[in-house]
Structure 1
Amino acid sequence: MTSAVFLGASPEGPVTQRFDKINRHGLIAGATGTGKTVTLKVLAQAYSEAGIPVFVADVKGDLSGLAEAGSPRDFLTHRAQDVGLEDYFFHDSPTVFWDLEGTRGMPPRATVSELGPVLLSRLLGLTDAQEGVLHIAFRLADEEGLLVLDLKDLRALLVHIGNNAQEIRATHGMVSPASVGAIQRRLLALENEGGDRLFGEPSLEVADLARPGPHGQGPIHLLVADKLIATPLLYSTVMLWILSELYEDLPEVGDTDKPVLALFLDEAHLLFSDTPKALVDKITQVTRLIRSKGVGIYFVTQSPRDIPDPILAQLGTRIQHGLRAYTPGERTAIKAVADGFRPNPAFDTGAVVTELATGEALVSTLDDRGAPTVVQRTLIRPPACSLNPVNDRLRARLIASHPDSAHYARFVDRESAYEILTARAEARVADGPEDEDDSPRGKGKGKGKKGRSRVPSSGSSGSRRRGSDSIAETAMKSVVRSVGRSLGREIVRGLLGSIFRSR
């Protein structure tokens, strides 16, 4: 098997990317209509053929064509001849569909505690004071052994905090009723936008993303995001959560012959829009460290200026499609792009980037020593998959045939903070009317279901369920899994801001 991806051809010869440098990350940039999507397809298929799993968000709906073989077209055949691709043939790639709504793919859920207070605060647009209340909520959940899995759990926890603000103030700090109310309103707005579909169990196992595919190929995991992108903050939060889970769960592998996963972050500018500097610093740190986990991250955006400089400096592969120079700001950006490449004496990089035709790109990769190669004006090879989205029938068949389809399709609502706090409050109401009811159902509701026995978790993350696991089995797996992940979770939540029980 070859040790490099064939990207295309330049006047100097073939342009390739070494498999063992894919985890050094990369950038795919260019103006709208210059060929970024086709380049993404070419890379995704090449990685898949080499046995490397891929995760990518389909923000426009056209990446689903990866699941279907392309059909002969004159311009594709001519492109293959121009780049010297002699064995060009059309084929599909093993594709796994994910969809937050659960209608066009398996739902990639997360528990509230897995998301953590920092990402959740960003998603809700909270102030510093309101974020502080969330940190208190997560700390209390850990101290009291309460699982916070979905939004009703978080609401119940906030009601509990509001009704016990005086006691909490003595040990954790001020809890303002106004802040609690503001968070509740933001949660309601998030539900109205469909964001509540993200939370619950079974939550996504990132190990499933790195599993080998059939016949030695790497599966291409496709997140359906054409509707999700309409809520940019939710989309970017989902992608950052997946990034953090990959860093937390995957083992250290160091430098290997090829990575264990390639992650493409399309519309990457949204990850850093209105993002606090402290969180950008954490993302930068994770980007640097996740390389040793065997994960390559590829930022896809219109301009390199969309990516913070500390992250941009870590991107070893640069694929720059055409840019336009109509304004002074755009001309400044072009100079910055040119300065970011190792110069090629054969041409002026700044001039060429404005002349590139659709399907052409300036490409620089890493050589065997890890040094950037001289920039090459490259004609990108044609993809082997369909250029059009797949039809609903093929999509449905691929979803139904996936071995994890039944597992992820079934929503599990087990005992967690909502049920525990409700049972406590109802028990106090039953013991005497003078006790205050801090149930999320409010006062005067009378008796309801009693609390069920529960195995407490050592952290606030939820466990996963497969097949016909009972509630008891699921709870026991949660304990075992929490112990095994405690150190990794402590590290990543230190990076991304969540608070877990002191150990």
Structure 2
Amino acid sequence: MADGIFIGTGGGARQAIDLRRANRHGLIAGATGTGKTVTLQNIVEGFSAAGVPCFVADVKGDLAGLAMPGSPTAKTHAAFAARAAEIGDTGWAYRETPVQFWDLFGEQGHPVRTTVSEMGPLLLARLMGLNAVQEGVLTIAFHVADREGLLLLDLDDLQSMLAHCAERAQELTTTYGNVSKQSVGAIQRGLLQLRGQGAEHFFGEPALELTDLIRIADDGRGVVNVLAADRLMAAPKLYSTFLLWLLSELFEQLPEVGDPDKPVMCFFFDEAHLLFDEAPDVLLDKIEQVVRLIRSKGVGVYFITQNPIDIPDKVAGQLGNRVQHALRAFTPRDQAAVRAAAETFRANADVDVATAITELKVGEALVSMLLADGSPSPVERTLIAPPASRVGPVTPDERRVLIETDAVGDKYDQAVDRESAEELLAAKTQAAGAAAAEAKASTAAEKATARQAKLDAELARQAERDRIAAARIADRQRRDADRAAANSPWGKMATSAGRAASSSIGRQVANEIGKQVFGTTRRGRSSSGGLIGQVMRGVLGGLFRG
């Protein structure tokens, strides 16, 4: 084990992490103030010196000190020098570690971005706290976007896509299952909360290329990527989801390497309990799967937490290298943690683990590492080696210079907003609106023409009705005038005279015809002729009177 990552001295022997077993993951646990951060810093320095790139989440800002060498004038110098002498670390000396700074918000390091599509619906559902039904709707939105070639890059794209799905709810429900506007609304509210946590800075382009995290410095040391997580801790779901996304991306992109001579990369997740708090079973299964399988990609994952029982059993079972600092057994939960920690170590007849855990001093820990054959070493009470870099934060000016002079440069500093779902859907909506307006205009013109024709026909019918009515009125007026004229005194006189004249003329004509037809004597008539003559005279006289 002399060729591994030196941890400290315990049981009269060097305790170290075997590089060939470093991808079997690990755990650093202990109460606040027991020395976890110093142990973490020492282990990270060791991996870097061995040429292994690392990623660390800097929760308190202390790990930024990795970038600067320790100082003989620091108040910790005397204690560190004494510790190095006590454990026989003759090669101990102050030295900086090559570092790259990152920050999801782009304030204390290079911006870290990923696209909504790369994050995927499962992790986004976890990030927004969606239930199973809402997660299903979110998955449908991702599927439709993929099928229709709509890129989901940032939160604006996802918001537009969800609104698009709500408009097509009936169609999508028939094809994929229920897509209710209520579920879409719940997801939209979740997106609003994400914006409130600053997640809009995390989603977009240029997206982080994982090769920029796996760098080797010119001197052969692994570059340590330090994520500024002090502000990120205020958004624990964003923090934990980001870490899980990073592991998932590494698992998907890195090739299988089995058990290499040393890890391809090592991850250190501080405040690891945030990764598991209130996580649904499906997410725990995802974490377990990634932790278990990423080992074959040559990646080691180390969790740092105050209490070992914060790590679910099915994940804790994958952690072969263990450093346990002191625990305080003040509460029943603390006592349960002590028992759980004691039971996870390989027994050592010389160490009473349950008692030692509560007695460990600062900078002392119970250590058990995987041996070359893969079995855990017997637990040893170990004095932890001091770090070579600064214990504490860097100044703003030091951070700025380090950011400006690292290998990443300004590659991620300027956000890019290329055409994606939001722009395409907006253009589609605009085109549909223009077409609808054009169709509406055409329809309106046709309707106006039809209305005018109908009005013209109605006017023509009304004019005909008016003409007929006027003709009837004129005819009635003529009849009334005729009757009025007939009933006047002069009219009556004319009528009587006419009738008299007609009667006289009629009698004369009748007499004359009678004479000609039937014959009469000068003084008298024959009996038959007289009668017939009288009749004819009566008929002809009536005709003339009429």
Q: Which of the five TM-score ranges fits, normalised by the shorter chain?
A: 0.7 to 0.9
- Contact persistence 1:364–1:373 (CA under 8 A): yes
Counterpart amino acid of residue 327 in structure 1: T
Q: In the alignment, is residue 161 of structure 1 matched against residue 165 of structure 2? A: yes
Root-mean-square deviation (CA, aligned residues, Å) is: 1.4
TM-score of the superposed pair, with normalisation by structure 2: 0.78
Partners of 2:296 and 2:123 in 1: CA distance:
24
Aligned match of 1:4: 4
Give the alignment's TM-score, normalised by structure 1: 0.85
Check conservation: 2:2, 2:16, Cα contact below 8 A. no
Report the secondary structure of 1:407's partner residue: coil
Q: CA deviation at 1:404?
A: 2.0
* 1:315 match: 319
Deviation, 1:434, is 8.5
Alignment partners' CA distance in 2, 1:326 and 1:166:
58
CA offsets 1:245-295 (integer angstroms, 9 cap, x no match): 111111111111100100011111111111111110121111111001000
- Letter aligned with residue 291 of structure 1: R
Match of 1:23, SS? helix
Partner of 2:435: 431
> 1:193 and 1:270 mapped to 2: Cα distance?
16
Shift in Å at residue 405 of structure 1?
A: 2.5
SS in 1 for 2:111: coil
TM superposition shift of 1:211: 2.3
Partner of 1:441: none
Structure 1 partner of 2:417 = 413
Could you tell me whether the CA contact under 8 Å between 1:428 and 1:435 is conserved in 2?
A: no
> SS of the counterpart of 1:92?
coil
* Structure 1 residue aligned with 2:220: 216
- 1:280-328 CA deviation, whole Å, 9 max, x = no partner? 0121111111001000000110111011111111111010000011122
SS of the residue 2:382 aligns to: strand
Partner of residue 342, structure 1:
346
Aligned equivalents of 1:193, 1:17: Cα separation in 2: 38
The structure number with the bigger radius of gyration is 2
Name the residue aligned to 2:402: 398
C-alpha distance after superposition, 1:173-214 (max 9, x if no partner): 111111111211221121122111110011111122112222
How high is the sequence identity, in percent, across the aligned residues?
A: 53
- Residue type at the aligned position of 2:229: A
Name the structure 1 match of 2:370. Answer: 366
Find the counterpart in structure 1 of residue 109 from structure 2.
105
Partner of 2:358: 354
1:25-424 matches, within 5 Å, as 25-72=25-72, 73-424=77-428
Aligned residue pairs total 436
Rounded Cα–Cα distance in structure 1 between residues aligned with 2:300 and 2:438 = 59
Report if the CA contact (8 A) 1:201-1:411 is conserved: yes
Gaps in structure 1 of 5+ consecutive residues:
437-503
More helix by share: 2
Which letter does structure 1 place at the counterpart of 2:344?
Answer: G
* Residue matched to 2:474: none
Cα contact 2:105–2:112 (8 A) shared by 1: no
Preserved contact between residue 284 and residue 311 of structure 1 (Cα < 8 Å): yes
2:16 maps to which residue?
A: 16
Does the Cα contact within 8 Å between 2:2 and 2:14 map onto a contact in 1?
no
Q: Which amino acid aligns with 1:63?
A: L
Point out 4+ residue stretches in structure 1 off by more than 4 angstroms.
none
Q: CA deviation at 1:12?
A: 2.4
Distance in 2 between residues matched to 1:13 and 1:182, nearest whole Å: 58
In structure 2, stretches of 5+ residues that fail to align are 441-546
**SS of the counterpart of 1:405?**
coil
Following the alignment from structure 1 to structure 2, what is the Cα–Cα distance between the partners of residues 214 and 390? 23
Highest RCO, 1 vs 2 (Cα 8 Å, sep ≥ 6) = 1
Distance in 2 between residues matched to 1:402 and 1:435, nearest whole Å = 59
Q: What is the distance in 2 between the residues matched to 1:435 and 1:404?
A: 54
Residues 460-479 of structure 1, C-alpha deviation per residue, up to 9 Å, x if partnerless?
A: xxxxxxxxxxxxxxxxxxxx
Corresponding residue SS for 1:433: helix
1:467 aligned partner: none
Mapped to 2, the partners of 1:11 and 1:375 lie a distance apart of 9
Task: Please give the secondary structure, in 1, of the residue aligned with 2:383.
Answer: strand
CA distance in 2, matches of 1:345, 1:217: 39
SS at match of 2:27: strand
